[in-house]
Amino acid sequence: MKAKLSLIAAAALLAGCAQMPPAPSINSNGAIKWANGVTEEMHISASGSTLTFAAPQSLFNPGGITIFSRIDSARNGNCEHYYSEQAVKTRMQICDNGEVTLIVEGQVINVGALARYMY
């Protein structure tokens, strides 16, 4: 019994020493401020055809990037439509006035405002 407890304690100590990989770094040139107060920085490609987000790092998510690609045939008035390359049913609509809508499986999940940094 003592051996099992010692083994569990040693495993817990080793797990505590494990380091998370560094979060990806992107050269942000824009951000979305969501209605819930969260701001997500992103890189907008020169052509505006892709939006790249750095995924936040957590214990269960080692981090990575999320890329949204523009759907060229889906422009609706003054709004551009994008889809997530990792989750095709996740869409984003960005309008000329800066309004952003995040849609997952046809349901609006979040709304926000786009800010593009000027250097």
Instruction: Supply the pLDDT for residue 4.
Output: 46
pLDDT score, position 10:
47
Q: What architecture does CATH give domain 21-116? A: Beta Barrel (2.40)
C-beta of residue 115 within 8 angstroms of C-beta of residue 31: yes
Q: What is the DSSP string of 49-71?
A: SEEEEEEPP-SS---EEEEEEE-
Supply the pTM of this predicted model: 0.72
Residue identified by tokens 């990575």 is 64
Please give the Cα distance from 73 to 53 (Å, whole number): 23
Secondary structure element (H or E) that encloses residue 8, with its range: helix 2-17
Question: The dihedral of CA 58, 86, 33, 26: what is its sign?
Answer: positive
Contact 53/44 with Cβ under 8 angstroms?
A: no
Stretch 85-98: mean pLDDT, rounded? Answer: 92
The residues pairing with 74 across neighbouring beta strands, listed in sequence order, are none
pLDDT, tens digit, for every residue of 71-84?
A: 988 777 899 999 99
Mean pLDDT of 7-36: 66
- Which has more pLDDT, 77 or 15? 77
pLDDT at position 116, please?
82
CA 6 to chain centre: 40
Looking at residue 21, what is its pLDDT?
Answer: 53
Name every residue whose Cβ is closer than 8 Å to that of residue 97 and which is 6 or more positions away in sequence: 78
Select, from the ranges 1-5, 11-15, 36-40, 51-55, the one with the highest average predicted confidence (pLDDT). 36-40
Mean pLDDT of all residues belonging to the chain: 80
Please report, for the chain, the start and end positions of each structural domain, with discontinuous segments joined by +.
21-116
